[in-house]
């Protein structure tokens, strides 16, 4: 018998990870399969080689399928792109039922109404995240279904992506034999498992430092408020280390993960790490401090850029609940300590991760996607534009007319 399942796929710069879960009657998800495969075709969060990415996705999926003991054909896919932008927009509709009670259909229509934004031709809408509903002028409503009203408004974040990078991602997932059930901002999925409800409410930054990208997301009043993705991450640290010590990239990556320290004062000065220079067979001994000499400047630069993004978002100091760090680079020894100094606050912590006995933090986004999908059941919002259809897709004017007819009725 076919089992009921939810799948989350995280196509990261370092690896593709797949989480396969089974919804439980209490609304939670049990993890029944995991898969991970090196991501050969992704640079700085963007797919640069379709074939290699398809193979990576297939390998990760097969691993999760083997563990669960059945085949999968649909999934939720995470988005952490440089090409993502958020637009704040409002949608307004009249409540249509005779008794003026707001129903699910009204919510759907008001969400559709937020899609009326002037988009450049190279972008499209991938998701709509409601921030608050407003019923007959009363704001701050989180769930208006069942309330009485005449005019329903929503204040929402419209998530847009560059068409090319988005379609490359969608094409790779489809070519790996998977239907996309929904595209989910990774920041949303990660906040589900990495931030507490109090942190989301009071205000906190969620900082995800991956291999190719660093994402800074601000949550407050229970919602995502701002998002910024910068093309810098752990790969840059590895490159600096490789160049500095004259060792190859793979060796530098390994060395960084095992002995890397983000802060000089925390690094050991004893030369007990053996390395081999490129083009030589001779081995030499270096200390953690020798590594940190090449790691620390880049870590400082990353934190400086994070700080600048926070200032741009209107937060020269951390919000009341501080900042939570996640992503592979945040695991480096001393990383949270350096971040506390740079962000001038003790309220910086590492995201915890232990869900259903999944202990490898690399899976956290894939698992976060599952939890998010189970709770919110996100839908596919992407338009037909640019899809490989026989006929040309409708132009922008036609699309606006379609939305309007949807809204006005
Ligand atoms: N213990 C560790 N110490 C230092 N760096 C680490 C450690 N573990 C992982 N990393 C680094 O973290 C990066 C991978 O992080 P992560 O898995 O979050 O990235 P990703 O999701 O694949 O990439 P992105 O989100 O940028 O697309 C790599 O650069 C890796 O070297
Ligand atoms: Mg990532």
For residue 54, the SS3 value is helix
For residue 229, which ligand has an atom nearest its CA?
1
Q: According to CATH, what is the number of the domain 85-162+388-408?
A: 3.30.1490.110
Per DSSP bridges, beta strands 15-23 and 29-38 are antiparallel
Question: Which residue has its alpha carbon closest to ligand 1 atom 9?
Answer: 328
pLDDT digits (tens, 9 = 90+) for 71-92: 999 999 999 877 889 999 999 9
Between CA 25 and CA 22 the distance in angstroms is 10
Residues linked to residue 21 through DSSP beta bridges, in sequence order: 6, 31
What is the fold, at CATH topology level, of the domain defined by 6-82+165-189+359-376?
Nucleotidyltransferase; domain 5 (3.30.420)
Which architecture does CATH list for 197-350? 2-Layer Sandwich (3.30)
331 lines ligand 1 (CB under 6 A): yes
Q: Which ligand is nearest to the CA of 302?
A: 1
Q: What is the position in ligand 1's atom list of the atom closest to the CA of 332?
A: 3
Q: Does residue 329's CB lie within 6 angstroms of at least one atom of ligand 1?
A: yes
Q: Phi first, then psi: give them for residue 124, nearest 5 degrees.
A: -145, 160
Instruction: Give the confidence band of 28 by pLDDT, cuts at 50, 70, 90.
Output: confident
Helix (H, G, I), strand (E, B) or coil at 166: helix
pLDDT tens by residue, 152-196: 999 999 999 999 999 999 999 999 999 999 999 999 999 999 999
CATH 3.30.1490.110 residue window(s) in the chain: 85-162+388-408
Please tell me the residue having the least CA distance from ligand 1 atom 13. Answer: 211
Torsion over CA: 376, 379, 381, 382 (sign): positive
User: In 146-260, which ranges are E strands?
Assistant: 151-162, 179-185, 204-209, 214-220, 223-230
Strands (E), 290-346: 323-326
Count, residues in the chain: 409
For residues 369 and 386, give the distance between their C-alpha atoms in angstroms, rounded to a whole number.
Answer: 26
Which residue has the CA at smallest separation from atom 21 of ligand 1?
12
Of 140-144, 199-203, 377-381, highest mean pLDDT: 199-203
pTM comes to 0.89
Residue nearest to atom 19 of ligand 1 (CA): 210
Q: Which ligand is nearest to the CA of 362?
A: 1
Separation of 248 CA from ligand 1 center, angstroms? 18
As annotated, the residues of the chain forming the CATH 3.30.420.40 domain(s) are 6-82+165-189+359-376, 197-350
Tokens encoding 272: 């007990």
């Amino acid at each position: 018998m076919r089992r009921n399942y939810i799948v989350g796929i995280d196509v990261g710069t370092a690896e593709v990870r797949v989480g396969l879960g089974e919804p439980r009657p209490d609304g939670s998800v049990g993890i029944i399969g995991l898969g991970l495969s090196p991501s050969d075709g992704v640079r700085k969060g963007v797919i640069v080689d379709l074939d290699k990415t398809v193979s990576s996705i297939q390998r990760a999926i097969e691993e999760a399928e083997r563990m669960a003991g059945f085949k999968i054909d649909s999934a939720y896919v995470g988005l952490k792109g440089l090409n993502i932008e958020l637009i704040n927009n409002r949608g307004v509709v009249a409540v249509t039922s005779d008794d003026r009670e707001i129903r699910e259909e009204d919510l759907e229509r008001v969400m559709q109404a937020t899609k009326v934004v002037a988009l450049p031709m190279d972008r499209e809408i991938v998701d709509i995240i409601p921030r608050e509903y407003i019923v007959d002028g009363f704001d701050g409503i989180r769930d208006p279904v069942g309330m009485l009203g005449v005019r329903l408004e929503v204040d929402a974040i419209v998530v847009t992506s560059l068409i090319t990078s988005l379609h490359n991602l969608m094409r790779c997932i489809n070519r790996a034999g998977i239907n996309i059930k929904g595209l989910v901002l990774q920041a949303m999925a990660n906040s589900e498992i990495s931030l507490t409800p109090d942190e989301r409410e009071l205000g906190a930054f969620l900082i995800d430092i991956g291999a190719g990208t660093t994402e800074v997301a601000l949550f407050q009043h229970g919602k995502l408020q701002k998002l910024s993705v910068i093309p810098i991450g752990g790969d840059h640290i590895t490159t600096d280390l490789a160049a500095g010590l004259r060792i190859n990239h793979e060796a530098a990556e390994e060395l960084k993960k095992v002995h890397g320290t983000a802060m000089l004062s925390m690094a050991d000065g004893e030369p007990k790490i053996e390395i081999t220079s490129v083009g030589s067979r001779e081995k030499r001994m270096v200390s953690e401090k020798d590594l940190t000499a090449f790691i620390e400047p880049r870590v400082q630069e990353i934190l400086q850029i994070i700080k600048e993004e926070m200032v741009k978002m209107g937060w020269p100091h951390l919000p009341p609940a501080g900042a939570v760090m996640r992503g592979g680079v945040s695991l480096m020894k001393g990383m949270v300590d350096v971040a506390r100094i740079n962000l001038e606050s003790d309220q910086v912590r590492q995201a915890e991760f232990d869900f259903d006995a999944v202990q490898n933090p690399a899976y956290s986004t894939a698992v976060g996607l599952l939890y998010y999908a189970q709770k919110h059941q996100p839908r596919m919002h992407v338009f037909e534009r640019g899809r490989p259809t026989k006929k040309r897709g409708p132009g922008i004017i036609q699309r606006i007319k379609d939305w309007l007819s949807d809204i006005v009725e």
